[in-house]
Homo-oligomer: A and B are copies of this chain.
């Protein structure tokens, strides 16, 4: 779309959800508690189950039964239909919502059934997530962690510039934005005694600012997704807060990777922003010449996204979220398409609705760091909150964290991701319990 289309639904200038966005999610209401698919527009949700039942999504090639696809508690089936269907459906919705289209605009009875205020809905995880993989694709983050734990000379591991390093996460504990997070307890050690662990609530509870991507169409086990096709397999992006207990992680992770330090909860934002909606923010990513990646990871078009990412924390007993970091998705070294090509190069199968996350997205400056581990340099420096004068190294009980992201287009509208929010509840267990 080269001209700026407007919707007949009012959209504030700073809204994340203008007609140019149309992110997909799953919601329910007090009146109708069965979750179904909707899209966000301004401060409203457009109920696609209602729109489909009204026949307004008929005739889209490949979308043979719109009611069956959208009157569902998850987007998996829609995701599996493939990019041409996603694109045609989104265009049909944009047309339906545009100010010059009378069908819905002039049908107040249908509007009454199809539009719900976002303030009045309960959002759910947008898909049934079969597998969740977490990558480690920010060079700045990997370097910071490397300097902290191995020193400047060996900051990056030997494989890091060759492989989009990743590991399997836990799918069961993925939760939608707004879900409280319980502080975990577990084994940890002290600097004084590095071989005899004790049991206690985590004292280094942290956040990780990440972007998640949902697999649309998958691949068959034993085959792979070529990097040239990878973009067509990605349905869209969300925000992910990969809560992390640094002390539990530090003791457990050798040699098989993070486990209980990560799998107590991972927060996902509810609206999936399609790659089509982000197309105009595509930019060149970091140079990959020293070394050049192996052939299966080489891509010859823009594959990074210029999207500002913000971490906000509301310390307990205060009343306002304060910004603690501002990063950008464009800093990420390995693109989402490289991540997908790598993930499947051994024949690993992806299924519609599988989610991958980028890893903590830090940038070059301290203000761009995407975790308290980095912002407090593993607890050695306080993070100061300017307004409330609070100080933190890691999270306290009652602290609330919000991730948000958006970018303004040249035409003046804003494409955003909404919120990815969670609050820390106290641990249920005492030391040594």
Least CB separation from A342: chain B residue = B260
Residues from chain B with Cβ under 8 Å of A130 in the complex: 130, 171-172
Contact code string A70-109 (vs B, CB < 8 Å = 1, else 0)? 0000000000000000000000000000000000000000
Q: Which residues of B contact A433 (CB under 8 A)?
A: 295-296
Whether A354 is near chain B, meaning CB under 8 Å from some CB there, is: yes
Indicate if the CB atoms of A199 and B295 lie closer than 8 Å: yes
Whether A1 sits at the interface, judged by CB under 8 Å, is no
Kindly identify, within residues 109 to 168 of chain A, every residue whose CB is under 8 Å from any CB belonging to chain B: 130-131, 136, 157-159, 162-163, 165-168
Task: Give CA–CA (A158, B157) in the complex, Å.
Answer: 21
Q: Chain A, 202-226, contact with B by CB distance < 8 Å: what is the 0/1 string?
A: 0000000000000000000111100
Contact of A194 among B158, B291, B350 (CB under 8 A): B158
Q: Is the CB of B345 within 8 A of A186?
A: yes
Of B157, B158, B428, which one neighbours A223 at CB under 8 angstroms? Answer: B428
- A-side interface residues, number (CB < 8 Å): 68
Name the segment of A246-254, A306-314, A362-370 touching the other chain. A246-254
Task: Known A345-B260, A346-B184, A433-B296; judge A253-B251 contact (CB<8 A).
Answer: no
B-binding residues in A (CB < 8 A): 130-131, 136, 157-159, 162-163, 165-173, 175, 182, 184-187, 194-199, 221-224, 245, 248, 251-261, 263-265, 291, 294-296, 342-343, 345-351, 354, 425, 428-429, 432-433
